[in-house]
A and B are shown apart, each in its own frame.
Chain A
Amino acid sequence: MIARVFFAVCLLSGALLVGAALGRAFTAADLPPDAASGYAIWLNNSCAGCHTLYGQGGAYAPDLTHIYTQRGPDYLREFLANPAAFHPDQRAMPRFGLSQNETDQLLAFLAWINTQPAATNWPPRPIFVSGGGTAQSAPVADNGDPTANSPVERGRALFSRAPAICSTCHSLEPDVIIVGPSLYGIADRASERVPGVSPEEYLRVSVLDPSAFVVPGFNDVMQKNFADTLTSENVSDLIAFLMTLEANDANP
């Protein structure tokens, strides 16, 4: 008899506590209409079968809680239109063939996710798609040391690490196009791109305001949020690094 009472009490108190926790945890969300449509697209395409939000879901692909600010809408639009062009030699994301409108709604959804109160608490440190890593981390490739004193070395490291991760779109090998042009020899080209603009200035504008000059043959899809995500020191370091990338005629 005592055992029965004990069991009943355990079960009931458990149920009550779940109810109380659920009741406290949620207040009605104000999901804007665009984000609501985006949520439907998210569900219909089973994005959560591979991706996590707030660490919950398929976990075969990166967490997307903060992807909206990490990448910015331009990058994401380009990525969703053609995922295969990014991250060569990694596991692949299928192409979903979303329309322009659907992509906008999906982005509204991801933007909404990114601004929820829970997103301010989680994760404790940023989760990046690729690149990333802090000073103590093992180098992803031999990309230099971000703590080095020389701006060039810091820029070299930043090139393939978060928050810049230029290497997602730019190769340093000659003629290799990922999404953007190869930056091999950019130090030479930078002085010729826009008459009257110094190479350093050209590079600075290329990073902070990519639409100002679009390289012929490419679309204007470079991320446009670097002015927010990079410090001015980061940008100077990157430019110092890019200025070392001269075409080596002996070894093209």
Chain B
Amino acid sequence: MPIRERLALHFFGQMLVLLLLYASTALLSAVKFIGLDPLETALPYQQISAFSHVLLQAGLLTGFIGVGLALAARANLPVLRWLAHGWTLLLALTFAAGAFGLLEGRHMLELPPLLDIIQAALIIAVIAALLSHPQNRATPFFLWALALAICALAPLVPLLPPADPLRDQALSSLVVSLIFYLAYALAAAAICAWLVPSSANRLLLNAGLLAFTGVLLSLAALNTVAADDFSRGLALIGALLAPLAYLCWLSAGPVADRWTQLALFAFLLSNGLLGALLAVPAISQWTQGTRLNEAHLTLTALAALSLLLGVALKTRSANYKNSLLAFWVFLAGLVLSSLALIAAGLVQTYLERILTIGYLDTQNFLLPLYIFWVIGLLILALAITLFAFNFVRRQKI
């Protein structure tokens, strides 16, 4: 096996470790919603949820780097090895920051500023190291690099010194939205085109449409904070275009394997339908801050994850049959946890926002749905464990 691919596997391995940690922390924070939590005050929600967001984000970024290495034609290995060590160190620091409760609690953007900067620098260095080879300069590669650069650089924006609470809040939300609506979709389009070269000729058209709608949808982050008809109008246009953009992408050509198929479908559901609905100003004023937003973000992350797991399997040249069980369990967990969260979000919107029943009373009504949500997360954790087990077991080098 070429060293480059081995390096990619190294990143995929790290991704799996991060995902396992994510699954357990996500469970711990979800359990707080059903009030069965012995750690209620010892490990308060804002800490454990920040930890799980950070682990998920780190896992996805690690996976995206692995994909770049796996699919590159050439790589400057000595440099990349050093960068890989740097990345491992960053992950260790990230974990330590989370374990010692040093995360910032800025919803979804919780890394301490120093780590944000190191992370951005390392990712840019990886991109540069790969792009320095002329053979790597194919279109999908550029798109991959663009998406990863957005993921790396966007979190630096909210590090501007805090000034106006409304501006700060809008910027943070905008950055999170750009990562989920724009960067993940672009990266996914690039990876799909890579996996199925025959679909690559429409790549730029699809990606352009995805990028444009992704940007407009992100402006929904301003809907409640900065009441402005201009941005609301743009978000509405994005919401109208999004289903089209995702359907175009889906119809671009054959898909490689079932993980990719699942990823495409989940992207259509998350950004293309649910996310688009939540960006409509007339809807978002009722739903903003309900479980529906959480459902959208997790579904998008799971879509990206599914894609990464597919590439990891391929790089491993692992037997697809062996991961079949992991796939179906993953699908079951994804469906159950998403449906439960969406249902909880709908009920919450109706009771809390429309009937104006108090927040705490509404949460009590949602208990049964939260139980399904937690079961869904448990199943997802099981799927990732199965996948990791299969991934490691077949490694004979």
**Chain A residues in contact with chain B, CB under 8 A?**
3-4, 6-7, 9-11, 13-15, 17-18, 20-22, 24-26, 28-29, 31, 39-40, 42-43, 46-50, 52-63, 87, 90-92, 94, 109, 112-113, 116-118, 121-134, 136-138, 140, 162, 165
Identify the 3 closest CB pairs spanning chains A and B, nearest first: A49-B46, A46-B105, A55-B288
Known: A55-B224, A124-B286. 9 other contacts (CB 8 A): A17-B219, A29-B166, A31-B165, A39-B165, A40-B162, A131-B358, A133-B358, A138-B351, A140-B361
Q: Which residue of chain B is the closest to A17 with respect to CB atoms?
A: B234
Known A21-B222, A46-B104, A123-B353; contact A56-B50, beta-carbon cutoff 8 A: no
A47–B45 Cα distance when bound, in Å, is 11
Instruction: Select A29's contact among B50, B164, B204, beta carbons within 8 Å.
Output: B164
Within 8 Å CB of B49, what residues of A? 49, 58, 60
Q: Which residue of chain A is the closest to B292 with respect to CB atoms?
A: A59
Q: Does B356 lie within 8 Å of A132, measured CB to CB? A: yes
Within 8 Å CB of A47, what residues of B? 105
B227 to chain A, nearest CB (A): 5
Q: Does A140 lie within 8 Å of B164, measured CB to CB? A: no
Within 8 Å CB of A22, what residues of B? 170-171, 174, 222
Known A20-B230, A49-B49, A137-B356; contact A28-B289, beta-carbon cutoff 8 A: no
B interface, size bucket: 35 or more
A109–B172 Cα distance when bound, in Å, is 19
Instruction: Select A48's contact among B107, B212, B353, B354, beta carbons within 8 Å.
Output: B107
Within 8 Å CB of B351, what residues of A? 137-138
A243 to chain B, nearest CB (A): 26
Q: Does A59 lie within 8 Å of B291, measured CB to CB? A: yes
Q: Does B164 lie within 8 Å of A14, measured CB to CB? A: no
Known A7-B204, A46-B105, A60-B45; contact A90-B212, beta-carbon cutoff 8 A: no
Within 8 Å CB of A39, what residues of B? 162, 165
Instruction: Select A46's contact among B46, B166, B228, B234, beta carbons within 8 Å.
Output: B46
A3–B143 Cα distance when bound, in Å, is 13
Q: Does A122 lie within 8 Å of B285, measured CB to CB? A: yes
A53–B45 Cα distance when bound, in Å, is 17
Within 8 Å CB of B225, what residues of A? 25, 54, 56, 118
Chain B interface mostly: helix
Known A6-B208, A49-B50, A56-B224; contact A62-B234, beta-carbon cutoff 8 A: no
For chain B residues 13-45, which have a beta carbon within 8 Å of chain A? 32-33, 35, 40-41, 44-45
A63–B290 Cα distance when bound, in Å, is 10
Within 8 Å CB of B288, what residues of A? 52, 54-56, 122
Instruction: Select B231's contact among A25, A43, A123, beta carbons within 8 Å.
Output: A25
A118–B207 Cα distance when bound, in Å, is 34
Within 8 Å CB of A91, what residues of B? 32-33, 35, 40, 45, 360, 363
- B3 interface residue (CB < 8 Å to A): no
Within 8 Å CB of B174, what residues of A? 18, 22
Instruction: Select A11's contact among B166, B173, B208, beta carbons within 8 Å.
Output: B208
A9–B219 Cα distance when bound, in Å, is 18
Q: Does A25 lie within 8 Å of B170, measured CB to CB? A: yes
Q: Does A63 lie within 8 Å of B219, measured CB to CB? A: no
Q: Does B165 lie within 8 Å of A122, measured CB to CB? A: no
B217 to chain A, nearest CB (A): 10
- B133 interface residue (CB < 8 Å to A): no
- B10 interface residue (CB < 8 Å to A): no
Known A56-B289, A162-B358; contact A14-B212, beta-carbon cutoff 8 A: yes
Within 8 Å CB of A87, what residues of B? 360
- B355 interface residue (CB < 8 Å to A): yes
A83 to chain B, nearest CB (A): 10
Q: Does A118 lie within 8 Å of B224, measured CB to CB? A: yes
Q: Which residue of chain A is the closest to B50 with respect to CB atoms?
A: A49
Q: Which of B170, B207, B284, B357 has the most A CB atoms < 10 Å from its CB?
A: B357
Instruction: Select A10's contact among B105, B209, B289, beta carbons within 8 Å.
Output: B209
A54–B284 Cα distance when bound, in Å, is 11
Q: Does B359 lie within 8 Å of A21, measured CB to CB? A: no
Q: Does A125 lie within 8 Å of B208, measured CB to CB? A: no
Instruction: Select B359's contact among A14, A28, A49, A128, beta carbons within 8 Å.
Output: A128
Known A39-B165, A132-B357; contact A60-B32, beta-carbon cutoff 8 A: yes
Q: Which of B35, B166, B169, B204 has the most A CB atoms < 10 Å from its CB?
A: B166
Q: Does A21 lie within 8 Å of B169, measured CB to CB? A: no
Q: Does B359 lie within 8 Å of A63, measured CB to CB? A: yes
Within 8 Å CB of B41, what residues of A? 92, 94
Within 8 Å CB of A6, what residues of B? 204-205, 208
Known A46-B46, A60-B32; contact A14-B166, beta-carbon cutoff 8 A: no
Within 8 Å CB of B214, what residues of A? 14
A61 to chain B, nearest CB (A): 8
Known A7-B204, A49-B105, A54-B288; contact A127-B212, beta-carbon cutoff 8 A: no
Q: Does B230 lie within 8 Å of A26, measured CB to CB? A: no
Known A17-B234, A137-B351; contact A50-B45, beta-carbon cutoff 8 A: yes
Within 8 Å CB of A127, what residues of B? 352-353, 356, 359
Q: Does B211 lie within 8 Å of A10, measured CB to CB? A: yes
Q: Does A130 lie within 8 Å of B104, measured CB to CB? A: no
- B270 interface residue (CB < 8 Å to A): no
A131–B44 Cα distance when bound, in Å, is 24
Within 8 Å CB of A136, what residues of B? 355
Q: Does B209 lie within 8 Å of A117, measured CB to CB? A: no
- B77 interface residue (CB < 8 Å to A): no
A14–B224 Cα distance when bound, in Å, is 21
